[in-house]
A and B are shown apart, each in its own frame.
Chain A
């Protein structure tokens, strides 16, 4: 829907401040600034990689836009590492090469928004790393990069913000560290366990995981409780907090918990 391919049953879609639908004649102007990789890259396989980019560059836009894109072909080919293979027919490309060419195509117009579906699909580990670094560079340079991926370690490594969709609803949205912390547990070591537990019981969003009378207290925190908030509550009550340790939880665990939770809530 973001790219005008599927019509919404109701409501409007706006991208980069401009509407996407309503331009069935000439195409939405906003989409000129969007580069996309949709499910899988696709090409005219009887043409070379370079020609595919050329034809794609020429397909739309005014003369200036076309000229700019044509001028960038060498640069994007170099960026994705296809400079030598560019003259071969796409028919002969491996999956990794096609993936790279797809990314090159998305980059051609120097887009302000990149929408990439599984950008590292089919790439070897080195290639995956190159693309991750490239996307980080682009993002740091001020472009918005929107990635859809099932490789959560990759998402964790590269993304500033993560959104989790389950059953068509956005069930989580925030930096990976926040998402992990929100679903994670913390251990708190205090001098007076009894009093600490009483105080914490009164706190919203704090759930004590009962596992014994000695040692650190294990807590599960959900919004609005935060580790800092727990610390402040305990200290202001006069207790001494000697350790506050977040237990490591991976994004995958978070994701599965969220998705399963949504499944159950249905």
Chain B
């Protein structure tokens, strides 16, 4: 049934609209750099693109991480169960029968797959644009030491994986709220509000005590991959936090949905 979900997205116009939008964002840093020539100020690794096109992949991912990625995640996950409920198809799926827990798990898996695909899509397009404009080569790291292009690529993949893991917690929250209602857009709105609220709270230094528990705290920790030696500390904590959030919210979704009357 997983492939059924993916197949459905393939037939929707909005999938291609999103992909086009993301593509635009992915190549934007390279285009800006190439046309204006100035590298100062901007998203992480922006100025480094001139030296090595590989950085364009990172900048692209960094560009979508604060807003577009959480937004897309909230939309997809918010709609996962609630969308079927409002379309009326939920009752038919359950009566087919598709087990309740199975449905939640499959929906989460397909949301994650589409999320991961978008991050990879952005990364690859960034790479291609950067490579075409500035070529690849050795990577200067933030600490000054250079690493080979191959090793750099590996770290870029690791960074993408970390970002995807971060979105996995937003997706879990979205799926949880999705099991509670049949208003998909409402859930999406609520989820994105939560994600933004966490970022806002994270920036208020007076609330420093709770910062470690907000998953957005460690979102940019993947930049640590580009120090030599790699500082795994912050990322490890970030992943742990993600796991906790996913466990909580996905577990909650499974629990709630196993007992809920479906009247829509």
| Sample of 25 A–B contacts (CB below 8 Å) | A3-B91, A4-B94, A4-B97, A5-B94, A5-B95, A5-B263, A24-B101, A25-B99, A25-B100, A26-B101, A27-B100, A28-B97, A31-B96, A31-B97, A34-B95, A36-B92, A38-B91, A38-B92, A38-B95, A42-B88, A43-B87, A46-B11, A58-B1, A58-B4, A105-B92
Instruction: Enumerate chain B residues within 8 angstroms of A45, measured Cβ to Cβ.
Output: 87
Which listed residue (A7, A28, A43) contacts B89, Cβ 8 A?
A43
- Tell me if A40 counts as interface (CB < 8 A to partner B): yes
User: B114-122, B172-180, B254-262: which one contacts chain A?
Assistant: B254-262
Q: Let me know if A51 and B11 touch, CB within 8 A.
A: yes
Nearest CB in chain B to that of A26: its residue: B99
- Tell me if A47 counts as interface (CB < 8 A to partner B): yes
Instruction: Enumerate chain A residues within 8 angstroms of B87, measured Cβ to Cβ.
Output: 42-45
Instruction: Enumerate chain B residues within 8 angstroms of A59, measured Cβ to Cβ.
Output: 1, 4, 93, 96, 98
Residues of B in contact, count (CB < 8 Å): 28
Among B89, B100, B258, which residue has the most Cβ atoms of chain A within 10 A?
B89
Instruction: Enumerate chain A residues within 8 angstroms of B96, measured Cβ to Cβ.
Output: 27, 31-32, 56, 59-61
Nearest CB in chain A to that of B257: its residue: A24
Cα-based distance from A32 to B95 in the complex (angstroms) = 8
Nearest CB in chain A to that of B106: its residue: A59
Known: A7-B261, A46-B12. A24 touches B95 (CB 8 A): no
Which residues of A in the span 12-69 have a Cβ within 8 Å of any Cβ on B?
A: 23-28, 31-32, 34, 36, 38, 40-47, 51, 55-56, 58-61
- Tell me if A6 counts as interface (CB < 8 A to partner B): yes
- Taking beta carbons and an 8 Å cutoff, which residues of B are in contact with A? 1, 3-4, 7-8, 11-13, 87-89, 91-102, 258-259, 261-263
Which listed residue (A6, A28, A40, A58) contacts B261, Cβ 8 A?
A6
Cα-based distance from A35 to B100 in the complex (angstroms) = 18
Q: Let me know if B263 and A6 touch, CB within 8 A.
A: yes
Cα-based distance from A5 to B103 in the complex (angstroms) = 14
Nearest CB in chain B to that of A6: its residue: B261
Q: How many Å from the CB of B101 to the closest CB on chain A?
A: 5
Q: Let me know if A47 and B11 touch, CB within 8 A.
A: yes
Nearest CB in chain B to that of A51: its residue: B11
Instruction: Enumerate chain A residues within 8 angstroms of B1, measured Cβ to Cβ.
Output: 58-60
Known: A47-B11, A51-B11, A58-B1. A25 touches B102 (CB 8 A): yes
Among A23, A42, A51, which residue has the most Cβ atoms of chain B within 10 A?
A42
Which residues of A in the span 167-193 have a Cβ within 8 Å of any Cβ on B?
A: none
Q: Let me know if B259 and A32 touch, CB within 8 A.
A: no
Nearest CB in chain A to that of B5: its residue: A55
Known: A26-B102, A32-B97. A56 touches B8 (CB 8 A): no
Which listed residue (B4, B13, B102, B259) contacts A27, Cβ 8 A?
B102
Q: Let me know if B89 and A44 touch, CB within 8 A.
A: yes
Given A6-B262, A43-B89, A105-B92, 15 other A-B contacts at CB below 8 A?
Answer: A3-B95, A4-B94, A4-B95, A24-B101, A24-B259, A27-B94, A27-B97, A36-B92, A36-B95, A40-B88, A41-B88, A42-B88, A51-B11, A58-B3, A61-B96
